[in-house]
Amino acid sequence: MTTATVIGSADRVLADDEVTAFVGEALAGAGLDGRSVCVIVPDGTRSCPLPLLLGAVTAALEGRASKVTILVALGTHAEMSPEQLRKHLGGDYPNVINHEWWKPDTFVDLGSISSERVGEISDEMLRDEVPVRLNRAVVEHDVALVVGPVFPHEVVGFSGGNKYFFPGVAGQEVIDFSHWLGALITSANIIGTPGITPVRALINEAAALIPAEKLALSVVAQSGTDALHAVAFGDTESSWQAAAEISAQTHVRYLEHPVQRVVSVMPPKYADIWTAAKGFYKVEPIVADGGEVILYAPHVTKLAAMHPEIEKIGYHCRDYFVGQWDHFRDLHWGTLAHSTHLRGAGTWDPASGEHLRVQVTLATGIPEDVVLAANLGYLDPAAFDLAAYEADPDTFVVPNAGETLYRLQ
């Protein structure tokens, strides 16, 4: 791992021309002449001035790279339409592809991570061999260039870097396994954790199997805006590390005391609860025992557009699944992980059932019967009085929720 080159800091906002010049100089010195480059970018669920960054990247690669492909890291999110991509990327680019995670022929097998190594990485929480499949576009290029933001993350600690490969453009096996490992650790214990968490170690282990050279422009965005605090360039590990250190200063807020209730106001970029659940992950640490988190998102009409099985499983704490593992182990572990991440801390035993630390309530366009059947609370969004909650001393309202992590001092 080399040392990343960084522009900006936690207390700065970069001008567009600074960003463009930095990207141009960084790529000019990266030895890309005559080589094919796969540019991996986030989908629309992350704050990031992608038109600015992608414009700078493609300008720097023009006449230098032999081929450029733009690959959108969907993970298991819904594919983006041509119109959405045009707006998201800032224009019409040739060779733009969604990560079609639902199509087996879009993957290549890179090998596997041994059960012994998994045991070492996870401190024996899990001990299974993990097949590693990756979008073939990455493997079919000489260089894989990640361009995207770094934020506190509920599964891995901080997002970005090699996470754009796994789970960003990975096969289901690594996605399920990494997310369940994070669920076993629990979101509250891993989110915003600096350095190499067990899930980050697993991702890095998988990324070491990628034959392409791995580079990254890791950015620290001013949440909810098109501004950037910093850009780091280097290999996918060093650039991520540099950006994560700045993200820890800009994307984490501290409260002196726990609060009884949080209202997370979710922006339109979160189209279902699968993504809007970030409004819970980022505030769970500040909620008092017995408190409540309300996700206010009138535009959301589904729990999970691409994962309808969550309606049958419902939302439960980790111990609910672990205590009945024979019943749940054959389901997608990524879906189970999502369930636990939104339901938060709790306990389960056969005699007394499930006891949850925090109530989770949806004020969304999802029908009441669907919400209640999924083991969540319901509020009618049409009758929801945001101003009243803002005036309530026992309620902490978070506008544009989902990216800034809140913790207790």
> Length of the chain, please?
409
Cα dist. 321→144, 181, 273, 326, 354 in Å? Answer: 37, 13, 20, 9, 10
pLDDT at position 43 is 86
Q: Taking 80 as the threshold, does the pLDDT of residue 78 lie above it?
A: no
Kind plus residue range of the DSSP H or E element containing 24:
helix 16-28
Paired tokens of 73: 């890291």
Q: Where are the domains of the chain?
A: 5-250, 253-408
On the question of pLDDT at 117 being above 80, the answer is yes
Task: Give the pLDDT confidence score for residue 15 in this predicted structure.
Answer: 97
Query: Domain 253-408 carries which CATH code?
Result: 3.90.226.30
Q: Residue 76 pLDDT more than 80?
A: no
Report the C-alpha gap between 293 and 179 in whole angstroms.
22
Model pLDDT, residue 1: 60
For the cut 80, the answer to whether the pLDDT of residue 45 exceeds it is no
- Cα separation, 360 vs 275, whole angstroms: 15
- Whether residue 49 is preceded by a cis peptide bond, meaning omega within 30 degrees of 0, is no
Question: Averaged over 109-132, what is the pLDDT?
Answer: 97
Half-sphere exposure of residue 115: CA atoms within 13 angstroms, side-chain side: 3
Residue 363 pLDDT > 90, yes or no?
Answer: yes
What mean pLDDT is predicted for residues 307-314? 94
Look at residue 75 and tell me whether its pLDDT is greater than 90.
no
The alpha carbon of 334 is separated from its chain's Cα centroid by a whole number of angstroms, namely: 13
Q: Over the stretch 247-303, which tens digit does the pLDDT of each residue have?
A: 999 999 999 999 999 999 999 999 999 999 999 999 999 999 999 999 999 999 999
pLDDT of residue 275: 93
81-95, 176-190, 191-205: the lowest-pLDDT one? 81-95
DSSP, collapsed to helix, strand or coil, labels residue 226 as coil
Of the listed ranges 90-94, 176-180, 370-374, 381-385, the one predicted with least confidence: 90-94
Lowest mean pLDDT among 85-99, 275-289, 385-399: 85-99
Task: Evaluate if residue 385 carries a pLDDT over 90.
Answer: yes
Concatenated DSSP letters of 286-342: GEEEEEEEEEEETT---S-SS-TTHHHH----HHHHHTTHHHHTTS-HHHHHHHHHH
pLDDT score at 77: 75
When the pLDDT of each residue in the chain is averaged and rounded to a whole number, the result is 95
Q: Is the pLDDT of residue 134 over 70?
A: yes
pLDDT classification of 46: cutoffs 50, 70, 90? confident
- The architecture CATH gives domain 5-250: 3-Layer(aba) Sandwich (3.40)
Asked whether the predicted pLDDT for residue 28 surpasses 70, the reply is yes
* Residue 200, SS3 per DSSP: helix
Place of tokens 């453009």: 169
- Say yes or no to pLDDT of 399 above 90: yes
Task: Please give the average per-residue pLDDT across 2-30, as a whole number.
Answer: 96
